[in-house]
């Protein structure tokens, strides 16, 4: 399983996501970013930052 904690990229956010793979993490984190943080475009830099903080659990 993979795990991503939003606060690793956006300080102060305590949302966390788990999924079978990175695609599953992004499938949850992208809508969360849009609704919780007003991120309407996931730039390559943001995707890389998220990917850097996805941990295997």
Q: Which residues bind Zn ion (CB under 5 A)?
A: 6, 13, 15, 36
CA distance 57 to 44: 24
Q: In whole angstroms, how close is the CB of 39 to Zn ion at the nearest point? A: 9
Q: In whole angstroms, how close is the CB of 5 to Zn ion at the nearest point? A: 9
* Closer of 15 and 22 to Zn ion (Cβ): 15
CA distance 10 to 57: 21
Q: In whole angstroms, how close is the CB of 12 to Zn ion at the nearest point? A: 8
């Amino acid at each position: 399983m993979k795990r991503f904690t939003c606060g690793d990229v956006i300080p102060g956010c305590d949302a966390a996501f788990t999924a079978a793979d990175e695609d599953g993490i992004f499938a949850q984190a992208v809508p969360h970013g849009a609704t919780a943080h007003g991120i309407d475009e996931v730039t390559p830099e943001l995707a890389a930052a998220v990917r850097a903080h996805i941990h295997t659990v």
